[in-house]
Chains A and B, each alone.
Chain A
Amino acid sequence: MAIAAVLLAIPIVALLWVPSYAKADPELFGFPFFFWYQFLWVFICSALTWTAYKLTLSARGKTTHEAGEER
């Protein structure tokens, strides 16, 4: 669970630390760094949240499982 908490905290800290990405270079496909970096975090955040979800599921075991629901 502690690991899940850390995984969830990572995108929050990264995106709130604005000075770390408020710059134009390096560009990617014509997008300044500021923009493509935040777009990139959409996918990183998704992956981290999914991992955290899987971790909480295994921590709880079978009691959270609804009949007929896919794992």
Chain B
Amino acid sequence: MTPHLTVMAADGGINGVALGVLIALFLLVSVAGFMASRFQRADSLESLDEWGLGGRKFGTWITWFLLGGDLYTAYTFVAVPAAMFATGAVAGFFAVPYTIVLYPIIFIFMARLWSVSHRHGYVTTADFVRGRYDSRGLSLAVAVTGFVATMPYIALQLVGIQAVLEVAGVGGGDNIVAKDAPLFIAFAVLAAFTYSSGLRAPAVIAFVKDILIYLVIIVAVIYLPGQVGGWDNIFGSAQEKMATVNEATGKPTGAFLPGVGAGWAYATLALGSAMALFMYPHSITASLSSSSRNTIRRNAAILPAYSFVLGLLALLGWVAIAAGTTPIGLDGEPNAQLVIPQLFEDMFPAWFAGVAFAAIAIGALVPAAIMSIAAANTFSRNIYKEWLKPDATPKQEAKVSKLMSLLVKAFALVFVLTLDKQNAINFQLLGGIWILQTFPAVVFSLFTRWFHRWALLAGWAVSMVYGTVEAYQVINPVTGKHFGGSLGLIPGLDQMGYIAMTAFVINLVIAVVLSAIFNAMKVSNGSDETIPFDYFADADDPRVQKDLAEHGTHDEAYGDPDDIPGNAPAR
């Protein structure tokens, strides 16, 4: 380590004002969440209803505003701009087409999933697969995948909270515990937060969180570009940086624009991420809790506007290049994940940097809590109750859910500690590799029963192994660690592409070929408990109404985490 860098790290010590504002806002939000959950538990159902009804009375604009707050997580604030900063447009800006093509895709299948789920009381994709094919094995595969794939996604949120704490100056020192102190604090806060308050706290603090996030976004994208010489200068500096040679690899640092051949990587990253997002348990929970099948479609039309702001946030990574931001971690090493908090600390007055830090930290905490609860519910419902203890009481089930929500976060912590956190966006991409392999069993089965259950299971198994092995073999040239990225050679094309999509195609080919064989051999494909009408039923259907009423209370695992019907989940 050069003395120069050590001095810089020391300079970046505790930012008292920013840290104070961060802690104050954080405490305020936590106390508000805790108080609200106490208040509602003690009170009668009447006030609960009123609260829910109040939510439904919101006009389109307020609802739209609330939805947006959910879309901004550590992925948008930390991981995407960091990828832009470090390696450029292919690694980071694909998030924009990803979040655009996402909506046409969910428009196509989510209404059908909504209808069949409410006709049969399905809460998870594993429930649906079990009902459609009468196959516990395939259902288990879907449930386990959902549980496992959520872990790296939560890990990404932990990295986001850690980045803020590290820039604010928490932790430090040479020994291994102090070095990772911000991470352990982030984990402890998240665990305490979820364990004590469940789904209700995220719902209560959503408003505060959203106001903070919007404030920071608006100020950042309007104020900052002017401070560093305008967009011309920003793109100029980025182009210059991306063209420089990376000493470790001997190749250019990154891509200003996707070059020849990088088109495949860019397109597969966007499409794979888009298809994967709505397979996650937390996404399904949020979508199914909307009030009618068309809510999702209507929202699909207005939500893409958020992709615009996401694009501007991604470009903040390049604003940081123009501003000359040098993100140095507490260990004195450069760490791209710190770039946005560092940019805010350099460019904003200390108190506003504190507000921005709080926005990022709370914006990571809430989705992480929602994700871990959704994954835990999948576990207790489709694994614990289905396989381990079929006669479990609701109380036992709830207890398992709580413990599992801790466990899933503990695994997320393991991901952060063992994998390469220099490239946090890769956590989300890794989760995508796994969760995308449930897409054929879930989405194709919504439209046809031609696929055979064992063929779908075989396709899933092979593609999971392939995807994991391929991702393991990607080695970061700088750190030498495995799971260093999510791009691999596409067999037969000689181009780099997102491993999730390659695995998906393998999955699909196996499913099609084996389905044809099994169907020709007349192997039993299980019994189907759904009928064609199930896929079109809407909120006016009596069975759907009954299901909606049963799941209307907030204490159900099923309740909408934020009480806003039909919104897209956190990314």
Q: Does B293 contact A (CB under 8 A)?
A: yes
Is the CB–CB distance between B101 and A12 below 8 Å? yes
A-facing residues in B244-277 (Cβ within 8 Å): 256-260, 262-264, 266-267, 270-271
Instruction: For B298, list chain A residues within 8 Å (CB).
Output: 53
Q: Given A12-B101, A12-B104, A34-B257, verify A42-B538 contact (CB < 8 Å).
A: no
A49 to chain B minimum Cβ distance, whole angstroms, is 4
Q: Given A38-B311, A66-B291, verify A52-B257 contact (CB < 8 Å).
A: no
| Contact flags B287-323 to A (C-beta < 8 A → 1, else 0) | 0000111100110111011011001000100000000
Is the CB–CB distance between A53 and B107 below 8 Å? yes
Is the CB–CB distance between B100 and A42 below 8 Å? yes
Q: Does B96 contact A (CB under 8 A)?
A: yes
- Closest residue on chain A to residue B238 by CB atoms: A32
Q: Does B539 contact A (CB under 8 A)?
A: yes
Q: Given A66-B539, A69-B292, verify A42-B304 contact (CB < 8 Å).
A: yes
Of the listed residues B100, B260, B267, the one surrounded by the most CB atoms of chain A closer than 10 A to its CB is B100
Of the listed residues B101, B258, B291, the one surrounded by the most CB atoms of chain A closer than 10 A to its CB is B101
Cα A23 to Cα B298 in complex, Å, equals 33
Is the CB–CB distance between B315 and A35 below 8 Å? yes
Is the CB–CB distance between A41 and B100 below 8 Å? yes
A57 to chain B minimum Cβ distance, whole angstroms, is 7
Cα A31 to Cα B267 in complex, Å, equals 21
Is the CB–CB distance between A38 and B232 below 8 Å? no
Is the CB–CB distance between B301 and A15 below 8 Å? no
Instruction: For A67, list chain B residues within 8 Å (CB).
Output: 540
Contact among A5, A31, A50 with B235 in the assembled complex (CB-CB below 8 Å): A31
Q: Does B414 contact A (CB under 8 A)?
A: no
Q: Given A45-B304, A53-B297, A63-B540, verify A38-B97 contact (CB < 8 Å).
A: yes
- Closest residue on chain B to residue A31 by CB atoms: B231
A35 to chain B minimum Cβ distance, whole angstroms, is 7
- Closest residue on chain B to residue A32 by CB atoms: B235
Cα A42 to Cα B292 in complex, Å, equals 25
Q: A-B pairs with CB below 8 Å: how many?
A: 121
Cα A18 to Cα B232 in complex, Å, equals 23
Q: Given A45-B103, A46-B302, A49-B104, verify A15-B294 contact (CB < 8 Å).
A: no
Cα A19 to Cα B538 in complex, Å, equals 41
Instruction: For A9, list chain B residues within 8 Å (CB).
Output: 104
Instruction: For A32, list chain B residues within 8 Å (CB).
Output: 235, 257
Cα A27 to Cα B235 in complex, Å, equals 11
Majority SS at the chain B contact face: helix
Is the CB–CB distance between A22 and B259 below 8 Å? yes
- Closest residue on chain A to residue B56 by CB atoms: A68
Cα A32 to Cα B88 in complex, Å, equals 14
Q: Does A64 contact B (CB under 8 A)?
A: yes
Instruction: For B266, list chain A residues within 8 Å (CB).
Output: 18, 22
Is the CB–CB distance between A16 and B311 below 8 Å? no
- Closest residue on chain B to residue A68 by CB atoms: B56
Is the CB–CB distance between B308 and A39 below 8 Å? yes
| Contact flags A55-71 to B (C-beta < 8 A → 1, else 0) | 01100000111110100
Cα A60 to Cα B260 in complex, Å, equals 45
Instruction: For A49, list chain B residues within 8 Å (CB).
Output: 103-104, 107, 297, 300-301, 304
Please give the residue numbers on chain B whose beta carbons come within 8 Å of chain A beta carbons, in ascending order. Answer: 89, 93, 96-97, 100-101, 103-105, 107-108, 230-232, 235, 256-260, 262-264, 266-267, 270-271, 291-294, 297-298, 300-302, 304-305, 307-308, 311, 315, 538-540
* Complex A-B, nearest 10 residue pairs according to Cβ-Cβ distance, in ascending order: A18-B263, A30-B231, A50-B301, A8-B104, A15-B97, A49-B301, A16-B267, A30-B232, A46-B304, A22-B258
Can you list 15 A-B pairs, Cβ within 8 angstroms, ordered by A? A15-B100, A15-B267, A34-B258, A35-B315, A38-B97, A42-B305, A48-B104, A49-B107, A49-B297, A49-B304, A53-B294, A53-B300, A64-B293, A64-B538, A66-B540
Q: Known contacts A18-B264, A53-B298, A67-B540; can you find 5 more A-B pairs with CB under 8 A?
A: A15-B97, A22-B258, A46-B304, A53-B297, A56-B297
